[in-house]
C-alpha cells in the first residue's frame, strides 16, 4: 500500500502457519499409573486468583468449574448450587445494579454458620402474612420480633408445625399460634458454632436463635446447614462460612456497579466482554485497583493469544479468560470472522502464563471459556493448561439454571440464549465505544436438552475427569499439566473413537 511519503510500502496481514484447533482434534495418551492413582485420591483444587511464587492463592476452588455470566445460566440459585459442589458462579450483569446486588446478597445470606434472619414478622400480623412471607423467601422458619425486623426483640418463632392452613381462616394473629420465646431454646451471643450445633442436636431442634443480653435477635443457626455441609464436603465457603459467589461487571457502569456488589458481599468479579485486549478493560482494572487495591479480586478477558494475556496480566487481572467464538450459542466467528480454535488458544495462553510466571514470579490463572462439547473436553482443556473452565451450555441444562423448562417434540428442554442475542440484548458485552445498543446479533436463542439436577451431573462429569487423570498418572491438576501427553487425531480416527461397525440395540425395533 502507498506510504505517507508517496512511495510504495508492501505489507500484508500476518498469517499463522498452523491451523487453530478444537478439543475434538486431540486425545490424551495414557501414562504410567501407580497403585495410589485412583479417582478417590484425585484432587481437583485449583487457584482462582493470581498469587506470588511461594504463596497460597487467596481464593481457590475445590473443583475447576465456574458458570458463565449469562441470563440463562447464573443467578443466585445456580450460585448456591455450584458453591455446594465446590465451584463459583458469576451472576450475570445484564440486569440492573440493584437486582444483581440483591442476588449476590441472597447467596451470601443463604448459608452460614450464623445466619441473619431474612424471614421476620410482627406478632400482630396474620397467618395470611406468614404464608405470603414464606412464598417470598422460601423459608418456613419465621422469627417473630417486636418490630418485625431481623434485629428486633425476639418474641417467638413460627414454623410449619405451628399452623394448618386447611383448618384456619388466615385471619388468625401470629401471636395466637406462634411458639413463644418461653418455650424456645435459645443461646447467647458468645455461643461458638460448634456449641450451637451441639445444642441443636441435643434438643432435636431445626433452628436455634442467638440473642443478645436484651433479648434482641442476632442470628439463627439451622440444622439443615450442618447437614448440608456433611452432604457437600467440597462446598466453597468464605471465612464467615458463607458461600463464595462471583459477579459479572461491564466496562461502562463499573464505577457504580462494583461498589454495590462489594457492599452485597461479592467475593470475586469478572469483566464480561467478548474481547478483552482493549483499553476499556485496562481502564476498568485501573479504577478497581485505585479504589479497592488488592482487596478486590477481578478477572478479565476474553483473549486468544499470548499478547492478549500479557496485556491483561500487566493490567492487574486476577485471572484471564480465554476464548472467542467457541460457545454453543456464540456466532461471533460467523458474524465478524473473529476468533480462534479453543484448543490452540488455551495452549498458547497457557504457555504465555508460564513464561510470565518465570519472568515475574506471579502466577495468573487462566480460565478456558467455550468449546466444551463432551465431558472429556474438560480433561483436555485442563491438560492443555487451563486452571479452570467457564461453562454455559453445560449448566443451562440443569434445574438450577434460571431458564424455563419446556416440552419440545415430546422431550424436555431448557431455554438457552446468548448474551449477544436479541433476547438478552447485552450490548455492554460487545461494546466498542459506540452507541448504547446492540447493532447486530452475536448470539442465538436456543434450547438444550434438560438434564436434571446439578449434583448428580457434576458427580458424573468430574468422575470421568478424575478417571482420565488417573490414566495419565496424575492425582492433581498440576501433575496432569506436567505429565499429560496429547496427540492430534485424524478425521478417520475421530470416527474410530465412537461406536462403529455395529448395530446398536437401542436403534433396533422389537419384532
How many of the other CB atoms lie within 10 Å of CB of 473?
17
Residue 309 near residue 353 (C-beta atoms within 8 A) = yes
Q: How far apart are CA 427 and CA 409, in angstroms?
A: 33
Q: What element of type H or E holds 256?
A: helix 254-264
Distances (CA, A) of 411 to 14, 404, 405: 48, 14, 10
Catalytic residue among 330, 367, 470, 472: 330
* HSE toward the beta carbon, residue 213, CA cutoff 13 A: 1
Q: What element of type H or E holds 77?
A: helix 76-85
Q: How far apart are CA 445 and CA 420, in angstroms?
A: 9
φ and ψ at residue 25, rounded to 5 degrees:
-90, 5
- Catalytic residue status for 429: yes
**Vertex 232, ends 231 and 234: CA angle to 5°?**
150
User: Each residue of 294-314: b (16+ CB within 10 Å) or e?
Assistant: eebbbbbbbbbbbebbbbbbe
Q: How far apart are CA 382 and CA 377, in angstroms?
A: 9
How many of the other CB atoms lie within 10 Å of CB of 270?
27
**Vertex 139, ends 75 and 116: CA angle to 5°?**
80
**Sign of the CA dihedral 178, 179, 181, 185?**
negative
Catalytic residue among 429, 466, 470, 472: 429
How many of the other CB atoms lie within 10 Å of CB of 368?
32
**What would you measure as the largest C-alpha separation in the chain, in angstroms?**
95
Coil vs helix vs strand at 479: helix
Cβ neighbours for 330, distance < 8 A, ≥ 6 positions apart = 370, 418, 420, 442, 443
Q: Which three cell numbers stand for residue 88?
A: 463459583
Catalytic positions: 330, 429
Amino acid at each position: 500500500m502507498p506510504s505517507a511519503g508517496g512511495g510504495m510500502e508492501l505489507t500484508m496481514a500476518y498469517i499463522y502457519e498452523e491451523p487453530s484447533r478444537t478439543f475434538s482434534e486431540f486425545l490424551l495418551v495414557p501414562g504410567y499409573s501407580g497403585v495410589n492413582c485412583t479417582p478417590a485420591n484425585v484432587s481437583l483444587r485449583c487457584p482462582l486468583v493470581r498469587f506470588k511464587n511461594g504463596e497460597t492463592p487467596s481464593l481457590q476452588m475445590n473443583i475447576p468449574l465456574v458458570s458463565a455470566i449469562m441470563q440463562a445460566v447464573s443467578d443466585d440459585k445456580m450460585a448456591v448450587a455450584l458453591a455446594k459442589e465446590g465451584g463459583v458462579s458469576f451472576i450475570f450483569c445484564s440486569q440492573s445494579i440493584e437486582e444483581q446486588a440483591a442476588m449476590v446478597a441472597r447467596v451470601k445470606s443463604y448459608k452460614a454458620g450464623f445466619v441473619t434472619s431474612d424471614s421476620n414478622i410482627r406478632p400482630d400480623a396474620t397467618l395470611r402474612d406468614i404464608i405470603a412471607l414464606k412464598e417470598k423467601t422460601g423459608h418456613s422458619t419465621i422469627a417473630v420480633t417486636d418490630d418485625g425486623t431481623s434485629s428486633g426483640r425476639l418474641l417467638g418463632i413460627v414454623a410449619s408445625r405451628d399452623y394448618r392452613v386447611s383448618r384456619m381462616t388466615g385471619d388468625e394473629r401470629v401471636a395466637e399460634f406462634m411458639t413463644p420465646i418461653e418455650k424456645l431454646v435459645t443461646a447467647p451471643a458468645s455461643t461458638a458454632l460448634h456449641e450451637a450445633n451441639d445444642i441443636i442436636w441435643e434438643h432435636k431442634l431445626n433452628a436455634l436463635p442467638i440473642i443478645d443480653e436484651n433479648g434482641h435477635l442476632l442470628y439463627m443457626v439451622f440444622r439443615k446447614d450442618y447437614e448440608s455441609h456433611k452432604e457437600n464436603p467440597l462446598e466453597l465457603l468464605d471465612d464467615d462460612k458463607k458461600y463464595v459467589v462471583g459477579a459479572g461487571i461491564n466496562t461502562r457502569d463499573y464505577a457504580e456497579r462494583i461498589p454495590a456488589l462489594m457492599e452485597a458481599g461479592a467475593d470475586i468479579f469478572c469483566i464480561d466482554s467478548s474481547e478483552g485486549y482493549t483499553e476499556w478493560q485496562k481502564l476498568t482494572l485501573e479504577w478497581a485497583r485505585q479504589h479497592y487495591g488488592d482487596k478486590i479480586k477481578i478477572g478479565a478477558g476474553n483473549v486468544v493469544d499470548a499478547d492478549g494475556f500479557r496485556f491483561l496480566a500487566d493490567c492487574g487481572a486476577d485471572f484471564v479468560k480465554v476464548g472467542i467464538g467457541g460457545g454453543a450459542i456464540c456466532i461471533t466467528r460467523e458474524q465478524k470472522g473473529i476468533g480462534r480454535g479453543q484448543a490452540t488458544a488455551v495452549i498458547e495462553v497457557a504457555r504465555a502464563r508460564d513464561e510470565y510466571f518465570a519472568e515475574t514470579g506471579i502466577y495468573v490463572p487462566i480460565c478456558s471459556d467455550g468449546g466444551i462439547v463432551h465431558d472429556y473436553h474438560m480433561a483436555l482443556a485442563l491438560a492443555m493448561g487451563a486452571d479452570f473452565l467457564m461453562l454455559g451450555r453445560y449448566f443451562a441444562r440443569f434445574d438450577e439454571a434460571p431458564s424455563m423448562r419446556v416440552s419440545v417434540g415430546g422431550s424436555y428442554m431448557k431455554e438457552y440464549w446468548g448474551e449477544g442475542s436479541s433476547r438478552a440484548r447485552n450490548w455492554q458485552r460487545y461494546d466498542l465505544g459506540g452507541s448504547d445498543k446492540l447493532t447486530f446479533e452475536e448470539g442465538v436463542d436456543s434450547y438444550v436438552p434438560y438434564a436434571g439436577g446439578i449434583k448428580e451431573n457434576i458427580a458424573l462429569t468430574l468422575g470421568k475427569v478424575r478417571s482420565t487423570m488417573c490414566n495419565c498418572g496424575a492425582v492433581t491438576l498440576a501433575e496432569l499439566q506436567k505429565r499429560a501427553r496429547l496427540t492430534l487425531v485424524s478425521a478417520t480416527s475421530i470416527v474410530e473413537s465412537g461406536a462403529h461397525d455395529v448395530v446398536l440395540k437401542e436403534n433396533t425395533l422389537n419384532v
